[in-house]
Amino acid sequence: MPADPAQPVATLNPLPPPYIGRFAPSPTGPLHFGSLVAALASWLDARAAGGRWLLRMEDLDRPRCVAGAADTILRQLEACGLQWDGAVAVQSERDDAYAAALDALIARGLAYPCACTRAQLAQAPRNAEGEIVYPGTCRNGLPAGAGARAWRLRVPPGTVAFHDRIHGNLRQNVAREVGDFIVRRADGLFAYQLAVVVDDAWQGVSHVVRGADLLWNTPRQMVLQTLLGLATPAYAHVPLVTNAAGQKLSKQTLAPALPLTACSTVLAQALAALGHSPPAGLAGAAPAELLAWASGQWQIERVPVHSTIAKPSP
Ligand SMILES: [Zn+2]
């Protein structure tokens, strides 16, 4: 009997999906050493896998964005030799996509309006991260006379288990430890959680490598991926860099901006923070040479779990 041409005669092993990584800074100021560590880890992981590395400006929170910061970030990445692929995605141009995702959730009863003010929630319990656990006040309808302010996701009960490539197997009961979280804010802006999930799917991101401050955002993003029918990327959260006082480097702790020239020293320091100290023979090497060496050496297993790294003195 002749083979049915519609039926494959043998099952070929499917090719693994292409590696697509991304770096997604907020243009609220220039990059500092801590953001370089996250960018470098993401870039190395993509390049070592022969993958693409996309850039996305997370300028969703318009009031916090600083004019010119996005351009400064691009120049800083270029100075460090971290070249991205393709056009830079910009979240402030993506409201239609976020609105469509929210509408899809609302249509299925998975998002609901919330009238609670910050003051009303001030006494609500907090989780281990210090975040308010939403007590569900508006879950079954707005209180009489109250107007909708924000939109919240109706988080299904149960535990979200996930594997982080650096932290190992983790789990969180999002419904209990976070509660119904905001997907559209009272000021009308779409919430970070919704935008990042929609954009990672839109850009085809297969691997997220980012700072450990976002580790406990992952389960709620996975809840959104599940409810929106989107794929979940692989996750890795690199350690945060702290200053001499043990504070996370940030604009709030006055972390100095990365230089736009002579990046070799900070790049070598960032590699050390990621468990990949360059050999003495590469002291003073140009960024391109350091990156070529590091791409060949990169093993995410060597990245330390804990944020015990203080930025070395310049
Ligand atoms: Zn409420």
3-state SS class at 177: helix
| Spacing, Cα 198 to ligand 1 middle (Å) | 24
Centroid of ligand 1 to alpha carbon of 226 (angstroms): 23
Residue 114 has pLDDT above 50, yes or no: yes
Q: How remote is the CA of residue 183 from the centroid of ligand 1, in Å?
A: 13
Give the model's pLDDT for residue 258: 79
pLDDT in the model for residue 11 = 59
Report the separation in Å between the CA atom of 221 and the middle of ligand 1, taken as the mean of its atom positions: 21
**What confidence score (pLDDT) does residue 251 get?**
62
The model's pLDDT over 139-150, given as tens digits with 9 standing for 90+, comes to 999 988 888 999
Cα 231 to ligand 1 centroid, rounded to whole Å: 29
Q: How far is CA 141 from CA 33, 122, 147, 266, 298, in A?
A: 46, 20, 11, 53, 51
- Alpha-carbon distance 179 to 187, whole Å? 20
Give the residue among 79, 84, 73 at the shortest CA–CA distance from 27.
73
How many angstroms is it from 182 CA to the middle of ligand 1?
10
Matching CATH number, 20-94+201-215+227-310, of 1.10.3720.10, 3.40.50.620, 2.40.110.10, 3.90.740.10: 3.40.50.620
The DSSP H or E segment spanning 153 is: strand 150-153
Residue 190 has pLDDT above 70, yes or no: yes
pLDDT over 70 at 49, yes or no: yes
- What single-letter amino acid sits at 180? D
| Whole-prediction pTM | 0.90
Cα(299) to centroid(ligand 1), Å: 45
Tell me how far the alpha carbon of residue 154 lies from the centroid of ligand 1, in angstroms.
12
Tell me, what's the pLDDT at 3? 44
| Across 179-186, average pLDDT | 97
Token pair, residue 51, equals 């993958």
Distance 137 CA to ligand 1 centre (A): 5
> pLDDT tens-digit profile of 51-61?
999 999 999 99
Identify the band that residue 313 occupies on the pLDDT scale cut at 50, 70 and 90: very low
Which class does domain 96-194 fall in?
Answer: alpha beta
Neighbours of 168 (CB within 10 A): 8
Residue type, 158: G
Q: Report domain extents, the chain.
A: 20-94+201-215+227-310, 96-194
pLDDT at residue 126, rounded to an integer: 93
Instruction: List the single range of 129-143, 202-216, 299-313 with lowest mean pLDDT.
Output: 299-313
Residue 129 Cα, ligand 1 centroid: separation in angstroms? Answer: 21
Alpha carbon of 197 to ligand 1 centroid (Å): 23
Find the 138 Cα to ligand 1 centroid distance in Å: 4
**Same fold flag, 20-94+201-215+227-310 and 96-194:** yes
| pLDDT tens track for 234-249 | 999 999 887 666 666 6
Residue 152 confidence (pLDDT): 98
Instruction: Name the nearest CA neighbour of 216 among 184, 259, 181.
Output: 181
Separation between Cα atoms, residue 212 and residue 307, nearest integer Å: 8
14-24: per-residue pLDDT in tens? 666 799 999 99
Residue 305: C-alpha distances to residues 25, 139, 207, 216, 308 (Å): 22, 37, 18, 14, 9
